[in-house]
Amino acid sequence: MQIEHIHLDRTDSTNNHLRRMLDEGYRSKGLTVVSTDNQYAGRGQQGNSWESEPGKNLSFSFLVHPAFVPASAQFILSQTMALSILRVLKAADRCGDGRFTVKWPNDIYSGDLKIGGTLIECDLQGKSISNCIIGNGLNVNQEVFHSDAPNPVSLKQLFGTDFNREQLLESIINDFASRYEQMESSEWTQTRREYTDNLYRREGYHPYADASGQFMARIVEIEESGHLILQDENSHMRRYAFKEVSFCKEP
């Protein structure tokens, strides 16, 4: 797979940079990666900002043109990205203490602490995807967080040592490129199963909240569309799109 890697000393957002490239007529034949040492206006889900100390973490975005993915199944791209990051983190965790999981839909957690997040923006053409920008933030060597984010953590905080950011990024790029190539030529059942197996709160009942209030439930499955299916303690099935339900703190 052809890979073009553009590294910037500083930018507002790697997603925004790729969007400007597309607006100017850019189109690659494979995977385009934009990374930066200083992302000063990074965006998270739901309009949140993403705190990243310059030169300490990974801020990067991927651009692909997955015309083979139906618009209705675009969540497979989110699952693939999360699994690539997860695999690289697990490989870096030689002692197996990180307890890395994917919090639906695409945050990366260590225990109950957030170490990474993803923001995906897709352009549709008919029933297919013409462009997909996948923005990622991963906390690597930052030791102090100043924002009001409730639960950030970094690899340095977890393991007490600095990590080579370039090597981590190269590993993530290579893993994603391999998975992406496989997506074009095979079914996605294994990817969906691996994603489900690595979900945060995969087992047991845990507290959630929706527009009606808080309740206890367990994860049943993630639909192809990305909807989360929960079963509450009264055995009622509840189906949620992103932003319709929140994970609550354990009592």
178 three-class SS: helix
The DSSP annotation for 128-158 comes to EEEEEEEEEEE--S-----S--SSB--HHHH
Total structural domains in the chain?
2
215 & 239 share domain: yes
Question: What's the average model confidence in pLDDT over 179-194?
Answer: 94
Strand bridging mode 100-103 / 107-110:
antiparallel
17 & 79 share domain: yes
pLDDT for 243 equals: 94
pLDDT for 144 equals: 92
186 & 214 share domain: no
Give, in order, the Cα–Cα distances in Å from 227 to each of 103, 108, 110, 243. Answer: 13, 18, 23, 11
Domain boundary among 162, 179, 197: 197
Q: Two tokens at 32?
A: 């385009």
Domain boundary among 179, 197, 215: 197
18 & 90 share domain: yes
Q: What is the DSSP letter of 203?
A: S
pLDDT for 153 equals: 95
Q: With CA atoms as reference, report the closest residue to 153 among 138, 164, 166.
A: 138
26 & 63 share domain: yes
75 & 20 share domain: yes
Amino acid identity for residue 228 in this structure? L
Q: What is the DSSP letter of 39?
A: B
Cβ atoms of 43 and 68 within 8 Å: the answer is: no
165 three-class SS: helix
Residue 104: burial class (beta carbons within 10 Å; 0-12, 13-18, 19+): buried
Domain boundary among 178, 197, 216: 197
pLDDT for 44 equals: 58
Place of tokens 């007490």: 160
Inform me whether the pLDDT recorded for 149 exceeds 90: no
Report residue 117's pLDDT band, with 50, 70 and 90 as the boundaries. Answer: very high
CATH number at residue 82: 3.30.930.10
Using one digit for the tens of pLDDT, what is the confidence trace for 68-98? 999 999 999 999 999 999 999 999 987 777 7
91 & 18 share domain: yes
Using one digit for the tens of pLDDT, what is the confidence trace for 205-229? 999 999 999 999 999 999 999 999 9
Q: With CA atoms as reference, report the closest residue to 31 among 59, 58, 1.
A: 1
64 three-class SS: strand
223 is in which domain, residue-wise? Answer: 206-247
CATH number at residue 230: 2.30.30.100
Report residue 156's pLDDT band, with 50, 70 and 90 as the boundaries. Answer: very high
Give percent above pLDDT 70 in the chain: 96
C-beta atoms surrounding 159 within 10 Å: 15
Inform me whether the pLDDT recorded for 47 exceeds 70: no
pLDDT for 41 equals: 84
Q: How far is CA 9 from the centre of its chain?
A: 23
222 & 153 share domain: no
90 & 22 share domain: yes
Q: Two tokens at 222?
A: 């993630």
Question: What's the average model confidence in pLDDT over 160-188?
Answer: 95
173 & 235 share domain: no
Report residue 43's pLDDT band, with 50, 70 and 90 as the boundaries. Answer: low
What is the C-alpha separation between 11 and 39, in angstroms, rounded?
A: 5
pLDDT for 186 equals: 84
154 & 126 share domain: yes
Q: Two tokens at 243?
A: 């932003």
pLDDT for 49 equals: 57
Give percent above pLDDT 90 in the chain: 86
Q: Two tokens at 169?
A: 């990024």
Give, in order, the Cα–Cα distances in Å from 102 to each of 83, 106, 116, 233. Answer: 8, 6, 9, 23
77 & 159 share domain: yes
What is the C-alpha separation between 38 and 99, in angstroms, rounded?
A: 28
